Structure formats: C-alpha cells, structure tokens
Structure 1
Amino acid sequence: MLEQTILEHAKRMAPQESCGLVIIQDGTEIYIPCENQHIDPENHFSIAAEDYIQASQIGEVIAIVHSHPGGNPYLSTADRAHQLKTDLPWWLVCDEKIIKFECVPKLLGREFIHGSTDCYGLFRDAYHLAGCSLPDFDREDNWWRQGKELYLDNLAENGFKQVKRDIQPGDIILCCYASSRANHAAIYLGDQTILHHVPNQLSKREVYNERWQRMTHSIWRYRDWQPSAFMGICNDLAVDSI
C-alpha cells in the first residue's frame, strides 16, 4: 500500500519530479506527499522546511522520496550531496519502480575499519549506489591467513563472472595484497584508474599501475551490470565538485 501510494503520486506529478517524506507513526510507515518547490521541477526537487517540520511532528522521518520521470535510476550528484546532508535513506521512483538508497558514507576519504569501511565495504557501497544489492559478508580480520577465500567463494554465487580481457568501468579487480590469496578488491573506473581502500589509508582513487597489475589475481564483472549504472558511482565521486 505504501509503495503503491508513492508510485501513484509520482505518476500524477510527471513530467515534474514528485517528492515526499516517509514517516513512521505507531510502528506504521506512512507516505506524506509534498509540493515540489524547486524553480525547475522537471529536473530537480525541493521540499519546504515547513513541510518537513510538520511531517516530523506527526512521526519520525525515515526516508526522503523523489522521482526521476523518464530519467536515470540512480542518484544525481546533487541528489547524493543532499542525501549526505540529510543522513537519511533516499527512495527514488523511476520506471514505475522504487529504488531505496541507504545513506552510505561518501566513497572517497573513508577511514579504514575492517568489517565495515574496508575494501569490501567500499565495493559493496559503490555497487549499492549503482543500484546493485550485495550481501554484507561476515569477515574476521586476516581471514586470508586462515585459509579462507571471502571473494573467490562468494563472487560467482552473487552474480559475478570472471573475465579475461577488455576490462570495463565498474569491473572488480581482485588483488593479492601482501598475500598469496585474493584478499583485496578494487573497482575499475576507466582511464587506468581504480577506486579502492587499503588498510591504514583513506579510500581513494589511484592509478592502476604496474605494481597493482602485478598483484592482480583476476577481474570480475557483474552479470546484470548496465554501463549506465556506473554513473551512480561517478556521481558520488563528483560530490565535492559542487
């Protein structure tokens, strides 16, 4: 019922972007449609502060909703920048579907914490922003020293296939980082650049140079990957530019 109400609101408002708030009241999720206050409502949205305050007086705001009529199924750079400010999930209506984006930390500049904001956490969150849902595997520190294979045991089961050539943006590069096992994942961004997170460093972009190429174990591609989805990752990386 909740999602149907959201979809119907988006359909009524097209070609303008619809917008609204999801609140929780007495354990029930309720959608509150809001007027799009933006000067360019076909390409952007803005919710009045008064609408937000009124909604929060009724219940706890748990998500912000808007639509991309005939647009892209991922957050724009402006969307992502504002999501980070709200620190809330954003639900996006596109192609008569609702895509729910958690407010994951910005991809660049993360502190390394094994088991959360580590190399797999970056990989998983980047794919989440591209609209691809991956499980959060339990992983002990130094699992690769205990004879385990976090990546090789799970990638194929979760929609990835190994590729031998023609690396593409969005592909996952598995590396043997100070180990004989594939214990590190990087996302290929194109132009010989990777996005990754190594211990004792902040997450960053880096040249896929000879050092990393020597450490490369294999390259993997998501079977359902759509090249356009890569923009969901790029838009996060561009947040600091606006």
Structure 2
Amino acid sequence: MIEKLILDHAATCYPAESCGFVIATEKGRHYMPCINIADRPTEYFEISPDDWLRAHTAGEVVALVHSHPDGLPVLSECDRAGQKRTSIDWWLVCDGKVYKFNNVPPLIGREFEHGVLDCLTLLRDAYHLSGINLPDYSREDEWWKKGQDLYLDLLGPNGFYQVTEAQPGDVILICLGSEKANHAAIYCGDQQVLHHCSQRLSKRDVYSGFWLNYTHSIWRHKEWQQYGFMAICNDMAASSN
C-alpha cells in the first residue's frame, strides 16, 4: 500500500522529482508526501523545513523518498551526501519501481572490525548501493584456517560467475597468507581496487604487485549493470567532499 502511494505521488509530480517521508507510528507505517520546493524541481528536490518538522512530529521518520524521473535507479553523489547527513534510509522511485537503500557507512574510510565492518561488509554494502543485495553470514576470525571457504560459498550460489578479465564492479578474490580466497576487493578500473584490510581503513589501492600476484579469481554478477558502478563512484565522491 505504501509503495503504491509513493508511485502514485511520483507519477503526479512528473516530470518534477517527487519527495516525501515514510513515517512509523503506533498504527503502522504511512507515506507523507511533500512539496518539492527546489528552484529546478526537474533536476533535484528540496523539502521545506516545515515538512521536515511535520514529519518528525508525526512519528519516527523511517525513510526519505524521492524520485528520479527518466533517471537511473541509484543514489546520486548529492543523494549519498544527503543520506549521510540525515542518517536514515533513502527510497528512490525510478522506472515505476521503489528502490530501498539502507543508510550504510561510506565505503571509504571505514574502521575495521571483523564480522561487522570488514571486506565482506564493504562488498555487500557496495553491491547494495548498486541495486544487488547479497546475504550476510556470521564468520569467525581466521575462518579460512578452519576448513571454510566462505567467499566461494557466497559468490557462486548468489548470481556470480567467474571471468578472466576484470571490469569495473567485478569482485576480485585474493589470498592473504593462505591458499584460500580470504579477501575481497572491487575492481574500479584503471588498475584500482576498493577494499578493506584488517587493521586499516577501507580505501582504494593500486591493483598491482602483491594484490595482483596473489589474486585467486575474478567474479561478475549476472545482473550487474554499468550504472551500478556509478553508484559506487557516487558514494566515494560524496565521501571525499
């Protein structure tokens, strides 16, 4: 029901961007449409301070909603910067569908915590922003020394297939002090990867030397779209500004 109201509102506002909130109350969730007060509403949206106050007075703000008329189903650089400021989920209307993006931490500059913010978390969050949701699983420290092969267990059954040449958005598995693939990086093109190593901040690195020499395999998702990598770039740009 909420999604239908959101889609109807976006259709009514077209070609301008729609905007609103999902509010949670004791009676359940409902959609609160707002007026886009932006100077150029066909290019971006702006919600008035009065509507922000009205939303927070009505209940718990669960998500901010806006549309991308004739645009792409991923958050823009400005969207990701806005999501970071608001610290809530953002829902996006595009092509007659509602896409829901969790408020994941910025992909660059994360503190490492195994099982919470690690290379698998970075992979899952990057793909989530790209429109592909991957399952999570509990993982012990040094699971690769205990007979487990968690990355291969994750990728094959969840839509990935192995390739020989890396393209932006592909997952590169790397062996760090092990014969098993125990580290993942996302290829960014131009011999760059995005990854998160133990005891380091997540960052971009040159894909050469050690990382290249100890590459295990390269994987691509069957539903990957080029705009998915744009979502990752938008996040990195929002984090650096």
Smaller-chain TM-score bracket: over 0.9
Deviation at 1:168, TM superposition (A): 0.3
- Contiguous gaps of at least 5 residues in structure 2: none
Residue type at the aligned position of 1:57: T
Distance in 2, matches of 1:40 and 1:71, equals 15
Report percent identity of matched pairs: 54
3-state SS of 1:230 partner: helix
1:80-229 to 2 correspondences below 5 Å: 80-164=80-164, 166-229=165-228
Q: Give the equivalent residue in structure 1 for 2:34.
A: 34
Distance in 2, matches of 1:71 and 1:241, equals 24
Distance in 2, matches of 1:38 and 1:93, equals 18
3-state SS of 1:141 partner: coil
When the two chains are superposed, the root-mean-square deviation of aligned CA atoms in Å is 0.9
Q: Deviations over 1:89-146 (max 9, x none)?
A: 0000000000000000000000001011100000000001101111112111111010
Q: Give the equivalent residue in structure 1 for 2:233.
A: 234
Q: TM-score, normalised by structure 1?
A: 0.98
Q: TM-score, normalised by structure 2?
A: 0.98
Residue type at the aligned position of 1:174: L
Q: Deviations over 1:166-211 (max 9, x none)?
A: 2100000000012111000000000000000000000000000121
Deviation at 1:229, TM superposition (A): 1.4
Distance in 1, matches of 2:239 and 2:161, equals 33
Q: 2:123–2:185: 8 Å Cα contact kept in structure 1?
A: yes
Corresponding residue pairs, total = 241
Distance in 1, matches of 2:100 and 2:231, equals 13
Q: Deviations over 1:24-63 (max 9, x none)?
A: 1114111000000111111111111111111211111110
Q: Please identify runs of 4+ aligned residues in structure 1 that moved more than 4 A.
A: none
Q: 2:17–2:68: 8 Å Cα contact kept in structure 1?
A: yes
3-state SS of 1:154 partner: helix
Residue type at the aligned position of 2:238: V
Distance in 2, matches of 1:22 and 1:48, equals 16
3-state SS of 1:152 partner: helix
